[in-house]
Amino acid sequence: RITSVSLRRVLDSRGNPTVEADVLTESGGFGRGAAPSGASTGEYEAIELPASESIAKAREHAVPRLEGVYAGDQRAVDNALRAADGTDDFSAIGANSAVAISMAAAKAAADVLGAPLYQHLGGAFRGENFPVPLGNVVGGGEHAKEATHIQEFLAAPVGAPSVSEAVFANAAVHAAVADVLDERGVPAAKGDEGAWAPPISDAEAFEVVDEAVDRVEDEVGFEIRFGLDMAAAELYDDDREAYVYGDETKSADEQIEYVAGLVDEYDLAYVEDPLDENDYEAFAELTDRVGDRTLICGDDLFVTNVERLQDGIDAGAANSILIKPNQIGTLSDAFDAVELAARNGYETVISHRSGETEDATIAHLAVATDAGYIKTGTVGGERTAKLNELVRIADDAV
Ligand code: PGA
Ligand code: ZN
């Protein structure tokens, strides 16, 4: 049973304050979790409060309710968080404190059991599959100004024989992108997730990534494709009813045409948020056109929310869902979304945020839920924290 929950402000990878939670149990279990933070957040996400405000509210309302709750009963922990908050978007205590506590409690429970977190979360019926890591290698949008309009170009080492080889392949693509940019005389800083953020057009970025992927594919001898997070809700202008690419705009139909063309031209493995978060119909149309050969993934569209996912399933919008525990506030809610997705044949992609910490819970979550993919960057300490944890899990060294 939980005997104490302590909360503090720690740094995230952007240098902003975020919430870290420590949970202790009667039998000596200890767990620590930290909330990540998005920059291109979806309109329908659970609410993140300023860290100090969230901590103060959670101390007042949630901590007293959590004392005495059995940490091994994740639903009881998460129900206590929901009851303490009393809203449906965690706007009272903040989804940042909620998710930090939810993850810390799960780790404390695993600690009591002496089991790795993925085993505690996944149980005896967990499969033996490992997720394919999607590695952000070029990006712009809300993660880097003056770079590409498309937020993320993601290496997808779909043919890798092991997690370790996949993780290293993504790092090799990241390095190869730097080489290709250098050969073209393009200087590049890095964006919030460690991807290269070159001042080039989207069209040139496709050439660069395609070339980098080809080079690494030749080296490693297994299939590497790539994909995108277009974060199109950030491109979409409600007033103009158009997707805005600098001086150019595209209507919804033109955007569908553009993305379908890219899928075919580059054999894209994955396209996240190709359309606005309110346009289920356009999502359905694109899925109908190219969903047989690529994953169309809803991030801002679904926000890890079962109701929004159910609407998407009913409409035939997308064929996969991005899972971000802090978008919904608890691990139980994230599991519910995974389960609904799985029952309806939707692929799941467990994901980091652009603002991250060293917390590696999502690596365990991806393994526990048999997710097909995990999106957690390529390089940089807050990203390698998850990637290296995946390598350890695969090596049975956790
Ligand atoms: P965010 O971006 O964490 O800034 O929201 C990640 C994503 O859109 O997938
Ligand atoms: Zn996204």
Q: H helices within the chain, ranges in order?
A: 51-61, 63-66, 74-85, 95-113, 117-122, 163-183, 202-220, 232-235, 252-266, 280-290, 306-315, 325-328, 331-343, 361-368, 381-394
Output the pLDDT for position 128. 85
Cα 253 to middle of ligand 2, angstroms: 21
Report helix angle 74-85 to 51-61, nearest 10: 100
Output the pLDDT for position 197. 98
Q: Are 37 and 18 spatial neighbours (Cβ–Cβ below 8 Å)?
A: yes
Residue 248 tokens read as 């150019």
Ligand 1 binding pocket includes 372 (Cβ within 6 Å): no
Q: Are 312 and 297 spatial neighbours (Cβ–Cβ below 8 Å)?
A: no
Cα 356 to middle of ligand 1, angstroms: 11
Question: Distance of CA 239 to CAs 65, 236, 244, 274, Å?
Answer: 45, 9, 11, 19
Using the structure block, give the residue that is written with the tokens 């049973």. 1
Output the pLDDT for position 165. 98
All residues at 6 or more sequence positions from 180 whose CB lies less than 8 Å from its CB, including other chains: 208, 211, 212, 215
Active site residue 324: yes
Q: Which residues surround ligand 2, an ion (CB under 5 A)?
A: 229, 272, 299
Helix (H, G, I), strand (E, B) or coil at 8: strand
Instruction: Please tell me the number of the ligand nearest to residue 302's CA.
Output: 2
Output the pLDDT for position 325. 98
Ligand 1 binding pocket includes 40 (Cβ within 6 Å): yes
Active site residue 281: no
Q: Are 33 and 100 spatial neighbours (Cβ–Cβ below 8 Å)?
A: yes
Ligand 1 binding pocket includes 356 (Cβ within 6 Å): no
What angle is formed at CA 245 by the lines to CA 237 and CA 258, rounded to 5 degrees? 100
Q: Which of the residues 193, 234, 277, 389 is marked catalytic?
A: 193
- CA Rg, the chain, in Å? 20
Residue count (the chain) = 398
Output the pLDDT for position 376. 98
Q: Are 336 and 309 spatial neighbours (Cβ–Cβ below 8 Å)?
A: no
Output the pLDDT for position 213. 98
Ligand 1 binding pocket includes 231 (Cβ within 6 Å): yes
Output the pLDDT for position 170. 99
Output the pLDDT for position 127. 83
CB-based burial of residue 3 (10 Å sphere; 0-12 exposed, 13-18 middle, 19+ buried)?
A: middle
Atom of ligand 1 minimally distant from the CA of 354: 3
From the list 24, 37, 171, the residue with the least C-alpha distance to 107 is: 24
Output the pLDDT for position 126. 87
Ligand 1 binding pocket includes 327 (Cβ within 6 Å): no
Cα 173 to middle of ligand 2, angstroms: 20
Cα 65 to middle of ligand 1, angstroms: 32
Tell me which amino acid residue 260 is.
A
Predicted ipTM > 0.90: yes
- Pick out the chain residues at pLDDT < 50: none
All residues at 6 or more sequence positions from 44 whose CB lies less than 8 Å from its CB, including other chains: 277, 300, 303, 305, 308
